[in-house]
Amino acid sequence: MKRLLLSTVCLLAASSLSLAQKPHLITHWENFTTGNGMPDPKVFCVAVDGNRVWAGTEDGLALVENGKVQRVYKTEDGLVQRAVMGIAVDKKTGDLWIATFGGVSHFSGGQFQNFTNLTSGLLNDVCYGIAVVDQYVWVATTAGVSRLNTYTGEWTNWSEKNAPFHEPWSYGIAPAGNKMYFAIWGGGLLEYDVAGNYWKPYTDPDEEMEIVLFRNQGLLHIIVSNVAYNPDTKMVWASTYFGLSGYDGRNWHNYLTKDSGLASDFINAPKSRGNEVWACTDKGLSYLDYKTNTWVSYRPAKQAGHGEIEITWPDTKKTKLETSTTLAHNYILNMDFQGEDIWVATAQGLSHGIREPQKETQLYASIRNPRSGGENAHAHSQKGR
């Protein structure tokens, strides 16, 4: 009797573990393109503000709310320049700070206030990333980093002249408590201690531009396209054009397509919360469950209009699932969270990814055994690389 009871407990425990290790899935996609209100196909960035979603395109700023593109703002409406590269929402005021290829726009009360190199202390008009922390607005430009004190109007600038910028071309910004992280194209990752007013650079230790000599020796590559900070795990994630790097304050954790479930090593931006790490690549959207080392990648399937979900399990085996809807495009530039949903900026539109627990259960049920390599009409497994 004791042996039977023990076997039952072990079976239940194994079953619970198996369920816990199954990652959540995005099972439905809604797309916003020029056909339903977007001002341009290419969406560079997206920022969620409650029920409102702001998208930066190559031809203006779009507001999506209640399932529709409600408003588009262009230069004729006061936007400083048409190409919107970054959006930051001031959580205290609801104002927007917008980085463009022609300066910075502050959107408040339906009005734009613009800042350029000629009219303010902004280092350069070509701006990529932007972030708001308390009264400060941080801007990543091609000539370095600028910071505006919105209380005093004072600008502070950092470049190769007064900080360890190997290259001044700044792409992304990630606030991290009393620190700031900056993604530098050709200059690695820069950490700035705000209180101490000092910088710490992170570069590729092997200094090899073409190959990665050792997996977790440090930052994968000095060409860093963007950066994200996870306040839950206290980890910094840097996207490069050669893979994904994570730093926990002591150790580096690097991922390549050859040894993980990454859709591609060419990554435009990372995003992270809880145990989730997302990578926006040129071949789809990848998600890592950091706790279980399980990967999920989303991309359009060969069949038009359908989507493909590829799960890479910790044992490197793969499971492929199909959905009836998909991302607007496989080239992913950025993303943001809205509860359990996600919003994704792609080269051909803005995509809203929706988690449907019932559909997720059905998809997993369609796999006889995700670890065994079984096949059926809706899913199939293949051995990992």
370 φ, ψ (degrees, to nearest 5)? -60, -15
Domains present along the chain, CATH in parentheses: 24-382 (2.130.10.10)
Query: Nearest 5°: phi and psi at 195?
Result: -70, -40
Average pLDDT over residues 308-324: 95
Residue-level pLDDT at 12: 38
Backbone angles phi, psi at 104, to 5 degrees: -120, 140
Residues in the chain: 385
Above 70 in pLDDT, residue 133? yes
Cα(312)–Cα(293) distance, integer angstroms: 9
Residue pair 332/299 in contact by the 8 Å Cβ criterion:
no
**CA of residue 69 relative to chain centroid, distance:** 22
Span 184-210, average pLDDT? 86
The pLDDT value given to residue 29: 98
pLDDT of residue 212: 58
pLDDT tens readout for residues 80-102: 999 999 999 999 999 999 999 99
pLDDT of 203-252, one tens digit each?
977 655 555 556 667 899 999 999 999 999 999 999 999 999 999 999 99
Q: What is the pTM of this model?
A: 0.90
Would you state the pLDDT for residue 341? 97
In the numeric block, which tokens belong to residue 84? Answer: 């919107």
Residue 207: the pLDDT is: 57
Q: Pinpoint the alpha helices (H) of the chain.
A: 2-20, 357-365
Q: Is the per-residue pLDDT at 7 higher than 50? A: no
Higher pLDDT, 169 or 7: 169
Q: Using an 8 Å Cβ cutoff, are 148 and 141 in contact?
A: no
- The pLDDT assigned to 367 comes to 83
DSSP 235: E
β pairing state of 127-133 and 136-141: antiparallel
Least confident window among 37-41, 136-140, 358-362? 358-362
User: Residue 206: what pLDDT?
Assistant: 60
Greater model confidence, 108 or 11: 108
The pLDDT value recorded for residue 102 is 98
| Whole-number pLDDT of residue 211 | 56
pLDDT digits (tens, 9 = 90+) for 255-299: 999 999 999 999 999 999 999 999 999 999 999 999 999 999 999
3-state SS of the chain: helix, strand, coil percent to 5? 10, 50, 40
pLDDT confidence band for 6 (50 / 70 / 90): very low
The pLDDT of residue 302:
83
Gap between the terminal Cα atoms of the chain: 44
Q: What is the pLDDT of residue 210?
A: 52
Does the pLDDT at position 173 exceed 70?
yes
Question: Taking 80 as the threshold, does the pLDDT of residue 149 lie above it?
Answer: yes
| pLDDT, average across residues 108-119 | 97
What's residue 21's pLDDT? Answer: 75
Which of the four pLDDT bands, split at 50, 70 and 90, describes residue 55?
very high
Q: What is the average pLDDT score of the chain?
A: 90
Tell me the average pLDDT across 119-142. 98
Residue 214 confidence (pLDDT): 62
